[in-house]
Every structure is written in structure tokens, then in C-alpha cells.
Chains A and B, each alone.
Chain A
Amino acid sequence: MPGIEFSHVVMRYDNGTEALRDVSVVIPEGSMVFLSGHSGAGKSTFLRLVLRLESLTRGRILINDVDISRLARRHIPAYRRHLGVVFQDHQLLPMRSVYDNVALPLRVARMREREIGRRVRAALSTVELLDKDRVLPGALSAGERQRVGIARAVVNRPKVLLADEPTGNLDPALSRNVMSLFRIFRSLGATVIVASHDTALISGMGERVVELADGRLVGDSAA
């Protein structure tokens, strides 16, 4: 049963900056959690640690009972295939079509093309972009690009969906649309963690909120 547990996690960068200070939090499987806090509070570091883009300085991060800080380097790619990531800046490949961008995690997982097609169409249908599958990302609006990023994040049916400021470039209507998509994925069993500083949006969602400030855990609505 996948779940995420941060236990006394300290993350100090090489320049001495402490991005996280003794953070302990548990996010059960299938839940949706907002990480809130101002810029520099440690939200992105939290997500980067889950992604194993950074290595923690002290403490322990358990995912599905496995201490991911002890994962061998060669096992990290396979670990990441079970995560979905949505970025504020989309991180789409400009020279690949919407279809190929969304298909990327499946091709990495070496799925058969027929299965890839089925899953990509399902993901694009969910984000209502099926009719733009052959379009290059440059021809899409910001909201559409964000939805392509979400489709790519969920196409592999991840067990954990991470989103770093996913509504940063979107208007309120589109932001609510994106959040409703996250709720859909949560309802399908994924654990969803959304880092956002948009307090108005977060408060309107009625979900658990974990608040960070200056690298410390300063609030948890579930506590």
C-alpha cells in the first residue's frame, strides 16, 4: 500500500542553505495533500526529495515502506516510473507532438505501441485534448500545455502524482479545472501532492493542507 512518510527529514544544500528542517509528515495512500507556503518555504525541495532528484541530509523518507534514500542509483529510474510529475512550466518537448509527449513515459517503460496508443488517447480524452494529439506544444495555449503535462504525468497510471505550482500560469477557471483533474486521479487511487502558494485556491478545495515556512512544518490541517 503506497504511502509517503517523511521522518525528521533535514535537507541542506551544498551552499549551507537548509531547505527542510526536521520535517515529519505522513501522507497515506490515495489521499490528496496540498503543500503550502511562500516561495522558499521548502515545497519544491519536498517534491524533489520524493522524486529522488535530491538526496536528504538526515532523516528518512519511506515510500511503500521502502527508504528511498537508500535506493541504489540503478533502481531510481524504475522507481520514478511509478511517479507522475506536473510542473509549472510544463516541461514539454517542443519538437514532439502532444501525442509523443504524453507517450514518453510509456515508451520509457517499453510498452507495446498499441497499448501506448490506447493509454495516450485515454489520458488526452480525460484532459479534453484528444483532438490536438498531432499538434506541437508551441501551438497550444498555456492551459492546454498544462493539461498535456498532466496527461503525461498520469498516462503511466502513477501511484503518486506530484505537482509543483501546477496552476501558476493559469487563470482561476483553468486552475479549478486542473484541480478537478487531480481529484479525479485521487479518486482512481493515486496519492496526489500539490505544492502551491495559491492560498485562495487551496482553501477552496477542502483538502488536507501541510504548511511549510522556512523549511519547517508549521501547520497540518489533518493534525
Chain B
Amino acid sequence: MTMDAQRGRSGPAATRRPKEVWPAASGALRSVWRERARVAGESIAYVGQRWPTTVVVWLLIGAALALPAALYMVETNLSRAAGEWQGRPGFTVYFEPGLDASVSSGLATRLRAEPHVGDVRLITPEQALAELRGQTALRDAVEIFDGLEHNPLPVTIRATLVLGRSPDRLQEIAESAGLIPGVAEVVIEKTWLERLAAIRDVTRRIGVIVAALLGVSAVLISAASVRLAIAARLAEREVLALVGADARFIRRPFLYLGVLYGIGGAVVAAALLAAALMALEAPLARLFSSYGADLHLSGFDPMFLGVLLGCGAVLGALGARLAAAQSDRPP
């Protein structure tokens, strides 16, 4: 007896397209967000029930996130320190002695019109000598000058670069100033800027490399931890599959678990950074003050914390996704 015979048909079974065996239930009321909130609650409970393991995972991910975050803060503060430094990059134009004042004042006016040039200061020989008198270390030199009939110091212009502008343009401006008749010498003071830029560049590159390496580490830590959770809940996965849960539904608790691991790790990283900043701020302030600068460490703000938490959540979720994909063997 065949099913067709029972239905009073004689031919081979007329099979329908193998998409749906039964029609979809009509009027099924769904509460996706309620279910997700329930699963999130279960994941939080799971993390809480296994807190010793959770703390270890958070510390590992936190350590992995803290170093690139610290390098980011170093880079941010180096940039800021460069901007606030009193000895800002620039150049000094030395004029030939006895030159008409209109030449120097004309160049000063021209430089002030340059968008790349910030402060322009015209220093007369008298002002230069007065400055020398104010520096006790140069008292012997001042006494020599006092013995002379004429002040030998030249008229000078000190020009500084606008923050954030290219040092290459500074070079061009300085070179063009050197071509003006009556200019004896132009001294460009950008070596330290180049060094600082190089340090920032190295810091940034190291930061990117370290962030990539430790980001992968964070993903792997999350993946390994979630894989343990999956192994512990293998029976639950099988039962869920039997009652018709799709892969997304089965994976969801583990995805949330990965996010929790990642966010917890980010919180640990933020705490480590805060502790490091507290420990370093006083000695760094003393160091900066010895160079005549005030230290205001910046970068540890709500935006930074938000990005850190976001990165932690994404890395944790990636690890969970990796672990779930590896264990996806549909029964």
C-alpha cells in the first residue's frame, strides 16, 4: 500500500518542491527581542556562575587590549605635547648689520601673511642685547658687547610654524626668505620636530602592529573560552537542534558570551590604563616641568572608553563566532 493508493491516486507520488513540508503557521506572534534579552540574561548568569574562569579570561583579554590602548594614548599625548611645546619649530632670519629697517619689517609683514607661519617676531639689536642681559649664563658675553662702540647684534626675525602644518613648507618659506637681499643667514630649527615626528610615526606603527597581534590574541582567547562553554553545553545544542532551532539561535548564547568576555576585557584594560596613568602622571609632570612645560595627560576620555569597549565587544564576538563555526556540525 502506498500513500498515493490511500489517497486514491495511481501514479507515482507527486512531490512538491522541497522547501516547506508544512505550510507556515499563520498568525504566529513573535517576540524576538524578548528572547534575545532572555538569552543575554542567561549568558550573564553563565558568566557569573563561572566567575573564576571569567576573571581569568577578562584579565587575559584586558592585558591584550591594554598595550595597544596605551600606545594610542602615548601617541596622542606626544602629538599634544609637540603642539604645546614652547620651542615650536620655526626659523630665524639674521640680517646683515646696518640694514635699513624697512627690509626686515617688510619680510616680517610678508611672513605674517603666510598661512603656515604662526608667530613672527621682529627682534631689533637693542632687544636682542636686552634679552642677553637677562640671561646670567651669558653675562661675560654681554660685558664684551658693552665694551664695543656699536651693538654688533643683527636684526633678526623669529618665525614659528603653525601647528599641524608640514615642515616641508617651512623649509620652502625659509629658503625663499634667504634669497632676500640683506639677509645674512636663515637657520631652520626643525630637527627636533623631525625627530618627534619620527618618534610619533614609530609609535603609531608599533601601535598598529601590536594592536593587530594582540587583537588576534584577544580573538583567540575569546574563541578558546567560548569553545569550552560550547563543549559544556553540547547536549543543550543538540536538544535545540532537535526542536528546530536554527544555527543562529543555537549560536546566540555563545555570541553573547563572547561579547561579555570582550567587554569585560575592555573594562580590565581601562582599569590597567587608569592605574598606569595614576602611577606615571607625577613623575612625568616633573620631567616635563624640567623642560618648562606643563603636563596634562589627555586621551583617557569617554570617547576613548567607548571605543575601547566597542573594540572589546567586537573582538569577543569574533572569537565566539570563530568557536561556533568550528563546532557547527549540524546533527
Interface set of A (CB-CB < 8 Å, partner B): 1-3, 5, 7, 26, 28, 51, 53, 60, 62-68, 70-83, 85, 91-93, 104-105, 107-113, 115, 152, 156, 159, 222-223
Contacts and interface: CB of A to CB of B under 8 A. Distances in A.
Interface stretch (B78-86, B163-171, B205-213, B234-242): B234-242
A93 B235 contact: yes
B148 interface: no
Q: Which of B6, B21, B22, B34 has the most CB of A within 10 A?
A: B21
Contact of A75 (B18, B31, B235, B243): B18
Contact of B243 (A5, A81, A113): A81
A60 B2 CA distance: 13
Contacts of B3: 3, 5, 26, 28, 62
A92 B236 CA distance: 8
B22 A82 contact: yes
B30 interface: yes
A66 B245 contact: no
A85 B243 CA distance: 8
A111 B242 CA distance: 17
A79 B21 contact: yes
Interface residues of B, number: 40
Nearest to B34: A113
A51 B242 contact: yes
Q: Which are the 4 A-B pairs with shortest beta-carbon distances?
A: A81-B244, A70-B18, A112-B29, A80-B244
Interface of B: 1-3, 6-7, 13-22, 24-25, 28-32, 34-35, 38, 235-236, 238-247, 249, 330-331
Contacts of B15: 62, 65-67
A93 B19 CA distance: 31
Given A81-B244, A82-B21, A110-B35, A76 B13 contact: no
Contacts of B244: 77-83, 105, 108-109, 156
A105 B239 CA distance: 10
15 contacts: A3-B3, A26-B1, A66-B21, A67-B18, A77-B244, A77-B246, A77-B247, A78-B24, A78-B246, A80-B241, A85-B242, A104-B239, A111-B29, A112-B31, A115-B29
B2 A80 contact: no
Nearest to B7: A1
Q: Which of A26, A77, A113 has the most CB of B within 10 A?
A: A77
A76 B330 contact: yes
A222 B3 CA distance: 13
Contacts of A26: 1-3, 6
A83 to B, nearest CB: 8
A165 B244 CA distance: 21
A223 B1 contact: yes
Given A66-B21, A70-B18, A109-B28, 20 more contacts: A2-B21, A3-B6, A53-B242, A62-B13, A66-B15, A74-B246, A76-B330, A77-B247, A77-B249, A78-B244, A79-B244, A81-B244, A104-B240, A109-B25, A110-B31, A110-B32, A111-B29, A112-B34, A156-B243, A156-B244
A53 B243 contact: no
Given A5-B3, A5-B13, A26-B2, A77 B32 contact: no
A91 B35 contact: no
A63 B241 CA distance: 19
Contacts of B28: 109-111
Contact of A111 (B6, B24, B31): B31
A104 B42 CA distance: 14
Contacts of A112: 29-31, 34
Contacts of B13: 5, 7, 60, 62, 65
B249 A108 contact: yes
Contacts of A82: 21-22, 244
Q: Which of A66, A68, A83, A92 has the most CB of B within 10 A?
A: A66
A72 B19 contact: yes
Contacts of A81: 243-244
Contacts of A1: 7
A100 to B, nearest CB: 9
A150 to B, nearest CB: 13
Contacts of B240: 104, 108
Given A28-B3, A108-B240, A64 B18 contact: no
B30 A63 contact: no
B241 A77 contact: yes
A68 B29 contact: no
B192 to A, nearest CB: 63
Contacts of A223: 1
